[in-house]
Structure 1
Amino acid sequence: MGVLTFSDSGPATGGAPETATETPAADWRADAPRFDALVSRYRRPLLRFFRRRSVGVEDAEDLTQEVFMRLSRRFSNLHWSNPDGLVFTVASNALVDHERQRRVRQHERHVEVDPALPADEPSAETALAGRQRLQRLVAALEDLHPNTRSVFVLCRFENLTQAQAAKRLGLSQSAVEKHMMNALARLRQVIEAPNDA
Structure 2
Amino acid sequence: MDDATLVVRARGGDSRAFEVLVRRYQGPMYRLALHMLAGRGDAEDVVQEVFLTAWRRLPQLRDDTAFLGWLYRATTNRCLNLIRARRPVAEADLDSRESADAAGAPERAAQVSEQLTALGEALKRLTPEQRACWLLREVHGRSYMEIAGATGTTQTAVRGRIARARAQLAEAMAPWR
Shorter-chain TM range is 0.3 to 0.5
Under a length normalisation based on structure 2, what TM-score does the superposition of the two structures give?
0.40
* Larger of the two Rg values belongs to structure: 1
Bigger RCO of structures 1 and 2 (CA < 8 A, at least 6 apart): 2
TM-score normalised according to structure 1 size: 0.36
Q: Which has the higher helix share?
A: 2
